[in-house]
Structure 1
Amino acid sequence: MKKLLLALSLASTFAPLSVSADDFVPAQVINKNYDQLTNTSPRASRLEGINLSSYVVDENGLVSDIEIVATAGQKKYQREVIDYVSKLNYKSARLNGGAISSAKTITVSSQNVHSSFSNDQASPGFFNDYEKASQLIDDKRYDEAKTYITELENEHTKNTIEIVLLAWLKSQHSYFVQDWQSFDEHIYEAFLFRDNLPDQIKKRVIKNALQWFISKQDYVRAYDAIEALGDIESITFSEQNKAQLLAQVNDIYKNSGDINQQILLESEQAVLPLLSKSEVELKTEKPLSKVQLRCENKVVDYDTSAIDKIVISKNDVRCGLLLKSAQAQTVIIKQSGESFL
């Protein structure tokens, strides 16, 4: 018997701006006012998936405009995830006493639970190949390690733990062979879905991701990573440790100039890069099908045929730029102006 569970992670790890509580109140989910989505099947399956969705909560607290902005594992669960997220109800965000539209994100894990066997840990087959590949990377035998990684992906990676462990392993291999595009993809995936990892590996993922985010000038994610270190109960991360890291990132961020990012867009697959500067310009090879500024305190749609400059004020809260394109292309995002995090 298979049961599909959708596990939610609603909390944002980063509160970037000093907005007065009297001015802005974030949208808050209303618990237990929707039906849990469950499926049953006589076929036992270990295949699982994880999706990060971005969506809009309108002035009435209703969810709309759901976009999946990151995914790992089985994509077949995306329709069920969208259906599930659409059932969430909220108390709407409020600004100066009035209800406003707000952007939120949620991570949903589609997990299979069986009465006959456990699916909440890596299988022996996965673990054996994972250990062999890890050792080969340590021994600098990268081509041989790649063989085991491919076997892991094709034969043994099924549940959410295995999916994220594989992303971490791929990031390590990519780092040592200096495949930076692949490293970026896999360390980002491992960081986003790190809650599926054992604490010691989670710590390594966060530390690696923190350094990468700083090097990419992705300062919102860098601050997220610092907060994430403090969320691991089994490790010691003192307030002094946190203050030292924050001071280092603050110094780099405050002295940073323009930020230029290359974003790879797949056909009709939304992305949501987070923004660290007050002005944003886009350079595209082909027309975009959707451009939307999504902040916790406002949502702005842009005419894709006539975008001049996107401006973010110092009072805007955790802003991302949602982008979609009908055709695959590379988009350049230039961030400039004031540093406001």
Structure 2
Amino acid sequence: MLQAKEFKKAEQAFAELYKDHTKNTSEQALFVWLKSQYYYHQQQWFGFNEQLSVAYLLRAKLPTNIQYLVAKSALQWYSFKGDFNLAYNAIYALDNIEGKQFSEENKLATIKQIDDLLARTPQINSQINVSKDKLSYLSLSRGSIKTEGASDVSKLQIRCADQVIDLEASESVNYIIDEQSRAEQSRAEQSRAEQSRRCGLLVKSANPAEIKVKQTGYAIVNSKYDAS
């Protein structure tokens, strides 16, 4: 139906599929993957992003070949979006699918592609679409953050693996993540932090909102991403 662009029929089929075949996590994972393709074929990128993100989180519940497709699609999508944190994560996901070989040569070549793309992307523009009373999260790739349109949100936070920074909501917010955030860290912890800051922007609003985010400055992620 999707290949034939029969989207009305597909929509009805999805309703039946949801009713009868989402009883366990494996079925739910397959459902959201198929639903992501429904949005992809219609170029509805918000819906595609939502469904693909859930399928990627649940990928271990999928058959090997579909798990590979999900991880590969996630890599392409996150690279396109400029979400380099998750792009590096997806490379390691491809490298850890039981029963599917992802050669070291391909892995290193893919890492280099993302490294080069990150270097060629000094500014990353994103948009967070916040639903009423729900949390939305954007993983960050660069350390200087500017938001527009966050004057009415109830929660605005930078969340890193080692700290949480509450930001005061306003129409325009600027923040620079400290490269040396915790001087008291052990050497091993400092090494992990240098590999990847693993930070994100968390937003919650009592009403629907669209937050524009611009990332510039130094890269807070790299190919040494800690996939754990």
Match of 2:68 among 195, 203, 206: 203
Shift of 1:293: 1.3
The residue correspondences of 1:1-341 to structure 2 (distance < 5 A) are: 136-284=1-149, 286-305=151-170, 308-315=173-180, 317-341=197-221
1:288-339 deviations in Å (ceiling 9; x for gaps): 1111211112221222248641112345521111111111111111111222
Indicate the structure with greater helix content. Answer: 2
Q: Which amino acid aligns with 1:326?
A: A
Distance 1:140 1:308, change over 3 A: closer
- Structure 2 Cα separation of the partners of residues 273 and 261 of structure 1: 9
What secondary structure, in the 3-state scheme, does the structure 2 residue paired with 1:137 have? coil
Q: Could you tell me which residue of structure 2 aligns to residue 32 of structure 1?
A: none
- Structure 1 Cα separation of the partners of residues 105 and 137 of structure 2: 32
Distance 1:285 1:291, change over 3 A: closer
Distance 1:253 1:147, change over 3 A: same
CA contact (8 A) 2:79 2:114 kept: yes
Q: Which amino acid aligns with 2:201?
A: L
CA contact (8 A) 1:286 1:329 kept: no
User: RMSD over aligned Cα, in angstroms?
Assistant: 1.9
Shift of 1:141: 3.4
1:166-195 deviations in Å (ceiling 9; x for gaps): 110011121112222211111111112212
Distance 1:155 1:258, change over 3 A: same
CA contact (8 A) 2:149 2:172 kept: no
Shift of 1:268: 2.1
Q: Which amino acid aligns with 2:198?
A: R
- Structure 2 Cα separation of the partners of residues 279 and 209 of structure 1: 25
- Structure 1 Cα separation of the partners of residues 151 and 165 of structure 2: 21
Q: Which amino acid aligns with 1:330?
A: E
Structure 1, unaligned stretches of length 5 or more? 1-135
Q: Could you tell me which residue of structure 2 aligns to residue 53 of structure 1?
A: none
Higher RCO (C-alpha under 8 Å, 6+ residues apart): 2
What secondary structure, in the 3-state scheme, does the structure 2 residue paired with 1:272 have? strand
- Structure 2 Cα separation of the partners of residues 246 and 298 of structure 1: 27
Indicate the structure with greater strand content. Answer: 1
Distance 1:226 1:219, change over 3 A: same
Larger Rg: 1
CA contact (8 A) 2:71 2:90 kept: yes
Shift of 1:224: 0.8
The alignment-based identity, stated in percent, is: 37
What secondary structure, in the 3-state scheme, does the structure 2 residue paired with 1:332 have? strand
CA contact (8 A) 1:286 1:327 kept: no
Q: Which amino acid aligns with 1:220?
A: N
1:192-247 deviations in Å (ceiling 9; x for gaps): 22122122111000111111111111111111100101111210012211101000
- Structure 2 Cα separation of the partners of residues 209 and 305 of structure 1: 32
Q: Could you tell me which residue of structure 2 aligns to residue 20 of structure 1?
A: none
| TM-score after normalising by structure 2 | 0.83
